[in-house]
Structure 1
Amino acid sequence: MIAMTSPAPHRRTAVSARAQRLPGGKLAELFALARERGAIDLAVGVPGAPRTPEPLVEEAVRALRAGANQYDLPQGRVEVRNRIAESFATPADPDTELTITVGATEALCVALFSLVDPGDEVIVLDPYYENFLGAVELAGAQPRFVRLLEPEAACGPGWRIDQEALTAAFGPATRAILLNTPSNPTGQSLSTEDFELIAALCERWDVIVISDEVYANLVFDDQQHLSAADVPALRDRSVVIGSLSKSHAVSGWRLGFLRARPGLTSVFRRVHEITTNGASAPLQLAAGFTDLFDASVLTAAKELAAARNTMADLLSRMGLSFRVPQGGCFILADIRSVTDEPCEAYVRRVLEESSVLLAPGTPFFADKQRGSNYVRVAFNRSPQVLTAARRQLTH
């Protein structure tokens, strides 16, 4: 009898190709490095200012002790949905248009998982928030980058949309465009003119806007935040992502939200139930039972505007050039005026010489060579930390 042997089975890799393509978390590595060295961390946006509001903490403790420790409604507590809805310039129905998520990151993933299919294209303005690419990759879509125009001078227009490039990026494969206003890392806000162009292109190509607006409450110089939901032409084709992490200094609570028309919201809620089931019940209660969404109470923007000015003065003394941000908590600074080094080498040298950690610009740019000219600096820090950073960086 002839022994039969079966062919060796095809050996697959241990992880999916999708997971293998995810960009590395360089900023998380930097955060760990700063802690290890005891350095002043100006790289990561974890809030050092403003302080977490004491009433918010007390309400959380009260909710925990009262027994709010189990599952709650997946769409989120009605109290917090009502509070968030009341804070919008353009009204939203908290019952049919708002979903509480586990931070803005889950909101981003839920929106993309719900709206795009493998092979679809998602337009991403470049530079961009680092996590955008990972979320697009997990959804199986392809990013289509549109370069923003670099500032010509510190006092001139900064990081503007190239209208011709944006128009050319839309096509039959385009399913969504990802926006971030105010932006991480540039600090720039989209204008009415920007939104009008985006709305016209989305109407022409039947595209959804996913607008990350986590810094909506951190807009400076008496400017008003303009949301995608405030643009009439985008009312039914926009998805707005928000968060309490920076404005309320509760990044560890992981409370975010999705705003969209009822038809999309119903789909988002199904995907949200599968991914996380729901956000923390006691922390939602704490947010819902305080008045911290009231503009007269929310003082973070005023506090961080002062911190921004302090950081801008420090970076100017270091010889860096930058566009003063309109909002958010970061400054994207050009290092070419002080060094020929790529940003990674410059960041490491500053860390070694001054024990201050900055973020290299490369994770925020599709063209890493272009990104190597920049560093990102967080200014949501206490006055004491900013004073110490000034002393160490200008000694």
Structure 2
Amino acid sequence: MINYPSSKLPDVGTSIFTVMSAMANEHQAINLSQGFPDFNCPEPLIDLVNKYMREGFNQYAPMAGVPKLREKISLKTARLYGYQPDPDTEITVTTGATEALFAAIMAVVKPGDEVVVLEPCYDAYAPAIRLSGGSPIYVPLALPDFHVDWDLVRKRISSRTRLLIINTPHNPTGAVMTKADLEKLASLTEGTDILVISDEVYEHMVFDGQEHVSALQIESLRARSFVISSFGKTYHTTGWKIGYAIAPAPLTAELRKMHQFITFSSVTPLQLAIADFLDHEEHYLALPAFYQQKRDYFLAQLQDARFTFTPSPATYFQLVRYDALTDAYDVDYARQLVQQAGVAAIPVSAFYHNKTDHKYLRFCFAKGEDTLRTAAARLVRL
């Protein structure tokens, strides 16, 4: 009999995203749970991928990413945030933002280190911290608007704090950090060796006249940060898994040591196609209006539902409170919605390490109007 090794993540099972999508398929429900569009990416981008495939660009890309793509990322970053990272030493193309997060955490977190995590949070953070030998230190965002309590963050920092992870715009809540927030973070970390991961994958989805503020725009933060983004979000291509990390040269060198043994490189023709398509800046500049229209349409359809909500400030997610309908645990209620209403959502307790339940569900509105209208009609009937 084989004595199999004990699990490195014994309390980690199948993610709630996989569970809810499987339930949606089983019950033929409308899937507003997992964060992906139900519409296609721009046709010219598909044409560019086909072009590079047919021209024979189907072998390994350079480990750090196709040079042309890194150069275009550098120019885009300068245009948006006033800082131009060196494409050779400060930009790494990764297999999605999740790989960039994992590589960054593995690069700098050692056994005994602590990592401050603001929650609710993306479920990939804590497992990577634990696999690196570190300990996540959780700080809850303050309700009802999920803002950062910086005094509480300060209290959770210790001599063992190696890293602090922020996510703006924020998944699952849509909250957006202001310049004042990032200046407080800069002040908090000044004179320390604490590093920062700034997860900015929803950078182009900020609404109602607000602007995304990047950690790259504050010099003292930029010097200690991995800033991570995703073309999957920007170009409606979540299945392509093309992301990138921007960091100072010493941090980039350490991240690449991990990256080369995780995926080594990402899909070559996709990188080349995205590099060309980045010249069409009108696409990503139009995303705030594009997704705000979807948010507004979805919420207009939900006006007669027995949910309470504040319009999401950013991302393509909308939180709703359902406590007027039931006091059921949010995971149980999300399952009921699939079975009884034919709509799949994500229970927000899944984004807390201790499964804190505030009676919130998260809906993805990155869908066509027919999908949103039909889903909302089913929810209104509850």
- Shorter-chain TM-score range: over 0.9
> Residues of 2 paired with 1:15 and 1:385: CA distance?
45
State yes or no: 1:126 paired with 2:119. yes
> Residues of 2 paired with 1:293 and 1:219: CA distance?
19
- Which has the higher Rg, Structure 1 or Structure 2? 1
Partner SS, residue 257 of structure 1 = strand
Partner SS, residue 266 of structure 1 = helix
Give the alignment's Cα RMSD to 1 decimal: 1.8
Letter in 2 for 1:48: D
Are 1:174 and 1:205, in contact at CA under 8 Å, matched by a contact in 2?
Answer: no
Structure 2 partner of 1:394: 380
Partner SS, residue 240 of structure 1 = strand
Structure 1 partner of 2:87: 94
Task: Give the count of matched residue pairs.
Answer: 377
Structure 1 partner of 2:351: 364
Counterpart of 2:64 (choices 75, 84, 89) is 75
State yes or no: 1:287 paired with 2:277. no
Are 2:16 and 2:346, in contact at CA under 8 Å, matched by a contact in 1?
Answer: no
Counterpart of 2:148 (choices 126, 143, 161) is 161
Are 1:22 and 1:137, in contact at CA under 8 Å, matched by a contact in 2?
Answer: no
Partner SS, residue 46 of structure 1 = coil
State yes or no: 1:26 paired with 2:16. yes
Gaps of 5+ in 2: none
Give the 5 Å matches for 1:1-395: 12=3, 14-22=4-12, 24-49=14-39, 51-88=40-77, 89=81, 90-151=83-144, 158-291=145-278, 294-295=281-282, 298-368=285-355, 370-371=356-357, 373-395=359-381
> Residues of 2 paired with 1:367 and 1:318: CA distance?
29
Deviation at 1:227, TM superposition (A): 0.6
1:14-69 deviation line (CA, Å, top 9, x unaligned): 244423243541211111221222210011101225x3011110000111111111
Letter in 2 for 1:380: A
Deviation at 1:300, TM superposition (A): 2.6
Gaps of 5+ in 1: 1-8, 152-157
Q: Runs ≥4 in structure 1, deviation > 4 angstroms?
A: 295-298
> Residues of 1 paired with 2:262 and 2:309: CA distance?
39
Are 2:234 and 2:284, in contact at CA under 8 Å, matched by a contact in 1?
Answer: no
Are 1:52 and 1:248, in contact at CA under 8 Å, matched by a contact in 2?
Answer: yes
Deviation at 1:298, TM superposition (A): 4.3
Instruction: State TM-score, norm by structure 1.
Output: 0.91
Partner SS, residue 367 of structure 2 = coil
1:212-260 deviation line (CA, Å, top 9, x unaligned): 1000111112322101111122121011011011220111111000100
1:276-328 deviation line (CA, Å, top 9, x unaligned): 11000111011112235614664332211111112233444322223322211
Are 2:27 and 2:339, in contact at CA under 8 Å, matched by a contact in 1?
Answer: no
Are 1:182 and 1:219, in contact at CA under 8 Å, matched by a contact in 2?
Answer: yes
Letter in 2 for 1:375: L
Partner SS, residue 87 of structure 1 = helix
Partner SS, residue 47 of structure 2 = helix
Partner SS, residue 322 of structure 1 = coil
1:363-393 deviation line (CA, Å, top 9, x unaligned): 112332x325211111111111111112222
Identity %: 33
